[in-house]
Structure 1
Amino acid sequence: MNSNAISLSNVTVANSTYTGLTLERSLVTIKNNLIFKNNTGVVGGGLAINDSSRLIVSSSANLEFIDNHASYKGGGIYVEASTLSDIKLMTPNMPLTLINNSAGLVGGDMYGLYKLPYDNQFKLIHIGLTSTSDAQKICSCDPHTTTSYKNYEKKRSDQHIYPGQALKLNVALFGYDYFRSLTSTDGTVQVYNSTGNLLSQTHIPNTCSLIEYTPKLTQTGYKSYLVISSSISSMDTRIIFNFIVNECPIGFRLDKSQGSCTCSQSLSRENVTCDINTLNITHNGLLWIGTYHTTTPFNANATNPNACIINEDCLLYCSPNPVTFKLNHTDTQCVDNRGHRMCGSCTEGYSLLMGSNKCGQCHNNYMMIAWIALFAVMGVLLVVLLIALNLTVSVGTLNGLLFYANIVKLYEPVFSRKGALPVLSQVISWINLDFGF
Structure 2
Amino acid sequence: MVKIKITDTELIGNGANMILSSNAISLSNVTVANSTSTGLTLERSLVTIENNLIFKNNTGVVGGGLAINDSSQLILMSSANLEFIDNHASIKVEGSMLNRHQLNDTDTQCVDNRGHRMCGSCTEGYSLLTGSNKCGQCHDNYMMITWIALFAVMGILLVVLLIALNLTVSVGTLNGLLFYANIVKLYEPVFSRKGALPVLSHVISWINLDIWV
Give, in whole Å, the separation in 1 of the partners of 2:45 and 2:208: 102
Secondary structure in 2 matching 1:9: strand
Give, in whole Å, the separation in 2 of the partners of 1:67 and 1:384: 62
Q: 1:341 to 1:423 in 2, by over 3 A?
A: same
1:379, distance to aligned residue in structure 2 (A): 0.8
1:361, distance to aligned residue in structure 2 (A): 0.8
Q: 1:387 to 1:348 in 2, by over 3 A?
A: same
Q: 1:370 to 1:416 in 2, by over 3 A?
A: same
Q: 1:428 to 1:40 in 2, by over 3 A?
A: closer
Q: 1:341 to 1:373 in 2, by over 3 A?
A: same
CA-to-partner distance for each residue in 1:376-427, whole Å, 9 max, x for gaps?
1111231343345542369834333333333334433334443222331122
CA-to-partner distance for each residue in 1:156-213, whole Å, 9 max, x for gaps?
xxxxxxxxxxxxxxxxxxxxxxxxxxxxxxxxxxxxxxxxxxxxxxxxxxxxxxxxxx
Structure 2 residue runs of 5 or longer lacking an equivalent are: 1-19, 89-101
1:40, distance to aligned residue in structure 2 (A): 46
Q: Compare the two structures and name the one with the higher helix fraction.
A: 2
1:360, distance to aligned residue in structure 2 (A): 1.4
Give, in whole Å, the separation in 1 of the partners of 2:150 and 2:47: 104
Does structure 2 retain, via aligned residues, the 8 Å contact 1:357–1:413?
Answer: no
Does structure 1 retain, via aligned residues, the 8 Å contact 2:58–2:86?
Answer: yes
Does structure 2 retain, via aligned residues, the 8 Å contact 1:351–1:361?
Answer: yes
Structure 1 residue runs of 5 or longer lacking an equivalent are: 70-325
Does structure 2 retain, via aligned residues, the 8 Å contact 1:402–1:432?
Answer: no
Task: Write the mapping of 1:7-156 to structure 2, written as runs, cut at 5 A.
Answer: none
Q: 1:391 to 1:41 in 2, by over 3 A?
A: closer
Q: 1:45 to 1:361 in 2, by over 3 A?
A: closer
Q: 1:436 to 1:29 in 2, by over 3 A?
A: closer
1:434, distance to aligned residue in structure 2 (A): 3.9
Give, in whole Å, the separation in 2 of the partners of 1:414 and 1:25: 23
Give, in whole Å, the separation in 2 of the partners of 1:5 and 1:378: 61
| Bigger radius of gyration | 1
Provide the TM-score with structure 1 as the length reference.
0.22
Give the stretch that moved more between structures: 424-433 or 49-58. Answer: 49-58
1:350, distance to aligned residue in structure 2 (A): 0.9
Does structure 2 retain, via aligned residues, the 8 Å contact 1:38–1:67?
Answer: yes
1:374, distance to aligned residue in structure 2 (A): 1.4
Comparing both chains, which one has the higher relative contact order based on Cα–Cα distances under 8 Å and sequence gaps of 6 or more? 2
Give, in whole Å, the separation in 2 of the partners of 1:3 and 1:427: 44
Provide the TM-score with structure 2 as the length reference.
0.39
Q: Compare the two structures and name the one with the higher strand fraction.
A: 1
Secondary structure in 2 matching 1:10: strand
1:352, distance to aligned residue in structure 2 (A): 2.4
Does structure 2 retain, via aligned residues, the 8 Å contact 1:22–1:48?
Answer: yes
Does structure 2 retain, via aligned residues, the 8 Å contact 1:17–1:40?
Answer: yes
Q: Identity percentage over the alignment?
A: 91
Secondary structure in 2 matching 1:367: helix
